Amino acid sequence: MTKKWHISRRTMLRGLGAAVSLPLLDVMSGTNLRAGEQQRPLMRLAYLYIPNGVAQGGWQPEEVDDRGRLLKLNRSMASLEPYRDNLTVFRNMWTPRGNGHVAGTATWLTGGSFDGEKLDAGGASVDQIAARHFQNQTLVPSLELSSRGEGIFTSSLPRNTISWVDAVTPAPRDIEPRAVFDRMFRAGESGLGSRSVTDLVLEDARRLKRRVSSDDQRKLDEYLDSIHAIEKRIAFAEQQKLRASQTPGLLESLVRPSGGIPDDHGEYMRTMMDMIALAFWADATRVCTFMMDHGQSNRYFNFIDGVNGTWHALSHWKDISGKTEDDDGMTSWSTREEKRTMYARVNAWHTEQVAYLLGRLQAIKDQHGSLLDQTMIVYGSSISDGHEHGEKDLPVLLAGGGSTIKQGRRLGDRKDTSMSDLHLAMLQHLGLPLEQFAESRSPLSL
């Protein structure tokens, strides 16, 4: 009887100057397993951070039943409605040791107190603890992503850091899609930077396809097509930058990001979300954080219909004169309700980007279900109501996790819960044998 052919989960496609991790294929199933042992799905962890909080009441679902089951999300979170059964929306969650734009950002994932004089976040962040657990199993231990900052606080380290290797060492962030892509798929300087990664590994892919099932061939084609699509998007952003620099008058009319960052902020966000999906699909890493903006973002969101002013100014929605220290000195508002509505639209826009990621993950399937089933995504902020800089009832939700997590509900109606309880639960769901994280010894029951 011919022995069934298998390949290792860590097999990579290789070409001149490139190495591409593979998605989970049928031909990998059964490797290194004892007789009768079932292969368990790999779990991934992502934290998606937004600054400036959410107006009081703007996070909670519109309807829940008497058991806490989600029946309808609110207007600002309507983009997540297709994934309602894959969500847990938390209530009364807080960070007992830090809040605000500085301490809250720096300690959102550490659960520690913040010492600004020593730049001490109180301990390693949850993502870096998870990354150490997986460091010998993936190409990249973790991805730390961020959008390029905008506003006067872009040089403030604690406002720009949620990932800490230890109490005093921030993990470096990647803000350019190409840099993220190269970390996963470029093997050093090949001198062939103009050639697609998929072109470089194509011959190796062809050899593999000749030996695998038609279903695995389809998975490989879909995966390589996804890589190629992202390459084309990054290349287009760089071409637009070059075109702007060579067209008289165009350069002066554009506020252009540097080095391959798309001019369109929505395109930028979606490309970074694609990087996360691709990283998890390739099993290049199982841990990722993404600061969708820095901890006191002064970014203008005037590209959203009906929105004027910076995000930070809008978060102080009770001040409408336009003359406070949080304002730009040019923008004012007629009523509090008008400003609060604009604030809510900015938050809704960011939630739409998260919904885009959930859709990408849900569309990627293998024998264990969708990639969303195999990914736990925590999305939220270190501030509750932005005007109050509140640290209680933080806007936080958990998406994904498949059958390992009871989803489709609101959790936390009865008592205040430390976010450290959630972090500890996340680590235990990943398989880490930990009994404590920061001050918590009571993992949240998920």
What pLDDT score was predicted for residue 370? 92
pLDDT above 70 covers a percentage of the chain that reads 80
Rg for the chain (alpha carbons), in Å?
22
Max CA-CA distance within the chain?
82
Assign residue 38 a region (left: φ > 0; alpha: ψ between -120 and 50; beta: otherwise).
beta
**Residue 222 to residue 214: CA distance in whole angstroms:** 12
Q: Say if residue 390's pLDDT is above 60.
A: yes
Q: Say if residue 17's pLDDT is above 70.
A: no
The mean per-residue pLDDT over the stretch 323-339 comes to: 91
What pLDDT score was predicted for residue 325? 83
User: 272 near 148, Cβ under 8 Å?
Assistant: no
Which long-range contacts does 128-131 make (Cβ < 8 Å, 24+ apart)?
128/163, 128/164, 128/165, 128/171, 129/427, 129/432, 129/434, 129/437, 130/45, 130/286, 130/287, 130/426, 130/427, 130/430, 130/432, 131/285, 131/287
> pLDDT per residue over 360-384, tens digit each?
999 988 878 899 999 999 999 999 9
pLDDT above 90 covers a percentage of the chain that reads 52
Q: Look at residue 356 and give its three-state secondary structure.
A: helix
Give 48's pLDDT tier (boundaries 50, 70, 90). Answer: very high
**Residue 169 to residue 38: CA distance in whole angstroms:** 40
- What lies within 8 Å, CB to CB, of 238 at 6+ separation is 178, 260
Where does CATH 3.40.720 sit in the chain?
40-175+265-429
**Residue 368 to residue 382: CA distance in whole angstroms:** 33
What pLDDT score was predicted for residue 283? 83
**CA distances in angstroms from 272 to 80, 129, 164, 266, 357, listed in the order given:** 19, 23, 21, 10, 9
Q: Say if residue 248's pLDDT is above 80.
A: no
> pLDDT per residue over 136-182, tens digit each?
788 789 999 999 888 777 878 889 999 999 999 999 999 998 888 87
What pLDDT score was predicted for residue 24? 66
**Residue 185 to residue 199: CA distance in whole angstroms:** 12
What is the CATH T-level fold of the domain 40-175+265-429, as seen in this structure?
A: Alkaline Phosphatase, subunit A (3.40.720)
The mean per-residue pLDDT over the stretch 46-61 comes to: 93
Give 63's pLDDT tier (boundaries 50, 70, 90). Answer: very high
Q: Say if residue 33's pLDDT is above 80.
A: no
Q: Which residue has the higher pLDDT, 129 or 26?
A: 129
Instruction: Give me the numbers of helices (H) and strands (E) for the chain, helices first please.
Output: 11, 17
> pLDDT per residue over 190-246, tens digit each?
444 456 666 666 667 777 777 778 778 887 788 777 777 777 767 766 665 565 566
User: 382 near 105, Cβ under 8 Å?
Assistant: yes
Q: Say if residue 1's pLDDT is above 50.
A: no
Whether the pTM exceeds 0.85: the reply is no
The mean per-residue pLDDT over the stretch 36-41 comes to: 55
What pLDDT score was predicted for residue 175? 93
